Amino acid sequence: MNKKTIAIYALAGLIIFSIAIGAVTLFSSQALKTNSTTSSQTPPASTVTSPTMATDGSDMAHTTPGMYMTYDQSSYDAHANQRRVLFFHAPWCPQCVALDKDIAASDLPDDVAIFKVDYDSNQELRKKYGVTLQTTFVLVDTNGEQVKKYTAYATPNYASVKTNLLD
């Protein structure tokens, strides 16, 4: 190879490397911005309004409704009387966003609590349950041990989660 060809390859490599670094920086800053926006706009689990609660706070039904909320240990512990499902979610994942909207709009079974776990910041939970892909749902028992796992990447909707994990 002559010097001109080597220089062209080096320049092309530098351009590709710069684009990759720019993309990683952009996605990282958007993820951080989304996480801080999401966490500041999401009410604490204790203030989440259930589907069977009237806007004036009076009960419309006497059953404990299914719940969908952001994961934190105290909320998780408080729902030990329900089937607990961990949803490993990433705000940059289009399938996760679709699942999030579909779950929030769905009527969950009364005995189910789904916890939206941030995929990027909860490595310990990911490791504990062997989660390697966002859109993974883990059904756990009362001791926090995995009962069943389902990844909804190919079919990002609540119906597929219900069929493959809860039924």
pLDDT digits (tens, 9 = 90+) for 55-70: 333 333 333 468 999 9
The answer to whether residue 19 is domain-embedded is: no
Tens digits of per-residue pLDDT, 23-49?
A: 545 444 444 444 444 444 433 333 333
Residues 86-106 have a mean pLDDT of 95
The answer to whether residue 76 is domain-embedded is: yes
21 confidence band (pLDDT: 50, 70, 90): low
The answer to whether residue 138 is domain-embedded is: yes
pTM to 2 decimals? 0.63
The answer to whether residue 10 is domain-embedded is: no
For residue 82, which phi and psi values (nearest 5 degrees)? -115, 165
* The pLDDT of residue 18: 57
Q: What's 39-80 look like in SS3?
A: HHHCCCHHHCCCCCECCCCCECCCCCCCEEEECCHHHHHHCC
Residues 72-88 have a mean pLDDT of 94
Q: Name the pairing type of β-strands 112-118 and 146-151.
A: unpaired
* The pLDDT of residue 4: 73
The answer to whether residue 111 is domain-embedded is: yes
* The pLDDT of residue 66: 83
Domain range for residue 107? 45-166
Tens digits of per-residue pLDDT, 134-166?
A: 999 999 999 999 999 999 999 999 999 999 999
**Count of structural domains within the chain:** 1
Tens digits of per-residue pLDDT, 98-130?
A: 999 999 999 999 999 999 999 999 999 999 999
CATH number at residue 54: 3.40.30.10
The answer to whether residue 28 is domain-embedded is: no
The answer to whether residue 155 is domain-embedded is: yes
12 confidence band (pLDDT: 50, 70, 90): low
The answer to whether residue 79 is domain-embedded is: yes
Distance CA 9, CA 100 (A): 44
* The pLDDT of residue 159: 95
